[in-house]
């Protein structure tokens, strides 16, 4: 086995992959990258090879990926043309460097052009440009991370609110833990039997948002209700509390570390059924069952969203 690269180990998701992969692959086979050298010091101290990765420069990236076998691309934490260009730079660098396989963290229904999520265009684009090269690949199409919704639940509790407004209607989601999604990425990196695979990384059961709140209320003893909103009503609400529309906005005063465009259009996707995908490849890939929503509520301190991390220079 040649070297395996984990990009973005300075981010929330990347840190988890970095933790899990060390239990699966010898450190001598690993390369961890981040946009800034200081984020890599802790891994260098462990004896892991580290490199600074500049996603704005395909030629420099190609040097980072020279003589490696597999590379994990964790979707960039910004949306739109900037992310698509960064992902394009990554793919070009992998081709130039002769990388054998790319593992990409995508989203459910990324291949569906009618999915209204603003995120979907970026993921579908990235999958397509990878497939239009000679690169081998594994696409991990993740469901929505439960941590985002658990964090929002306890935000409402801590603010003494008695309801949460969503535009998800009665659509269903197979929530997955971010920890489980990161574990699946580590498993994909360590698996030499999978080639040109598209895997759905789903939770154990589907939930409407009302179902999700019911579990939270039963575990915590709170009584948080669900107020169904239209897309525009939800945009107006997020605007009123200072949530940025997109990733170019100011998150310093936002009570939610996500964009309103991302949340609203994901809600539309849920309402219209695009994330109700009753097929999960999680067990096949990892050999274990995904974490339940009930368990996550019972151990909430382990499943909060955390601070927002961008991985740009």
Residue 13 lies in a domain: yes
pLDDT at 311: 43
pLDDT in tens, 18-36: 999 999 999 999 999 999 9
Chunked mean pLDDT (size 10), the chain, 313 residues: 90 96 97 95 96 90 95 88 92 96 96 89 95 98 95 94 95 97 98 96 96 98 97 89 79 76 90 94 96 97 72 45
Q: Which two tokens stand for residue 173?
A: 């989601």
Range of the domain at 95: 4-144+176-203+278-291
Q: Which two tokens stand for residue 313?
A: 């220079």
Residue 286 lies in a domain: yes
252: Cα within 13 Å, side-chain hemisphere: 1
Structural element, H or E, at residue 140: strand 136-142
Cα 65 to Cα 95: distance, rounded to the nearest angstrom: 10
- Residue 26 CB burial class (10 angstroms; 0-12, 13-18, ≥19): exposed
Cα 180 to Cα 298: distance, rounded to the nearest angstrom: 16
Here the CATH number for the domain that contains residue 27 is: 3.40.50.720
Work out the angle between the directed axes of helices 209-220 and 146-158 (0-180°, nearest 10): 60
Residue 265 lies in a domain: no
pLDDT at 310: 46
Q: Assess contact for 45 and 74: CB atoms under 8 A.
A: no
pTM for the full predicted model:
0.92
Give the number of domains in the chain: 1
Residue 191 lies in a domain: yes
pLDDT at 104: 98
pLDDT in tens, 232-288: 998 998 888 888 877 777 778 787 767 888 889 989 999 999 999 999 999 999 999
Q: Assess contact for 104 and 122: CB atoms under 8 A.
A: no
Total Cβ atoms within 10 A of residue 299: 12
Residue 98 lies in a domain: yes
Residue 64 lies in a domain: yes
Residue 301 lies in a domain: no
């Amino acid at each position: 086995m040649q070297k395996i690269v984990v990009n973005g180990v300075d981010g929330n998701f990347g840190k988890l992959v970095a933790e899990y992969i060390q239990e699966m692959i010898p450190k001598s086979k690993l390369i961890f990258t981040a946009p800034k050298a200081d984020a890599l010091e802790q891994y260098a101290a462990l004896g892991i090879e580290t490199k600074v990765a500049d996603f704005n420069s395909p030629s420099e990236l190609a040097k980072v990926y020279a003589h490696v076998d597999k590379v994990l691309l964790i979707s960039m934490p910004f949306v739109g043309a900037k992310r698509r260009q960064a992902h394009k730079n990554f793919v070009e660098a992998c081709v130039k460097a002769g990388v054998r396989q790319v593992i990409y963290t995508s989203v459910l229904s990324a291949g569906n052009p009618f999915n209204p999520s603003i995120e979907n265009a970026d993921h579908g684009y990235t999958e397509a440009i990878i497939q239009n090269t000679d690169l081998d690949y594994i696409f991990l199409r993740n469901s929505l991370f439960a941590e985002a919704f658990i964090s929002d639940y306890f935000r409402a509790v801590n603010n003494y609110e008695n309801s949460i407004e969503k535009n998800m209607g009665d659509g269903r989601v197979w929530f997955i833990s971010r920890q489980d999604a990161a574990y699946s990425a580590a498993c994909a990196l360590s698996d030499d039997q999978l080639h040109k695979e598209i895997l759905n990384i789903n939770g154990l059961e589907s939930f409407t948002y009302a179902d999700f709140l019911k579990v939270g209320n039963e575990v915590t003893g709170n009584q948080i209700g669900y107020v169904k909103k239209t897309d525009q009503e939800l945009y107006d609400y997020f605007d009123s509390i200072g949530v940025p529309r997109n990733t170019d906005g100011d998150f310093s005063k936002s009570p939610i570390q996500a964009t309103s465009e991302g949340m609203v259009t994901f809600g539309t996707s849920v309402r219209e059924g695009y994330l109700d995908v009753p097929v999960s490849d999680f067990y096949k890939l990892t050999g274990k069952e995904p974490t339940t929503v009930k368990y996550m509520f019972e151990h909430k301190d382990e499943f909060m969203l955390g601070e927002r991390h961008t991985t740009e220079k």
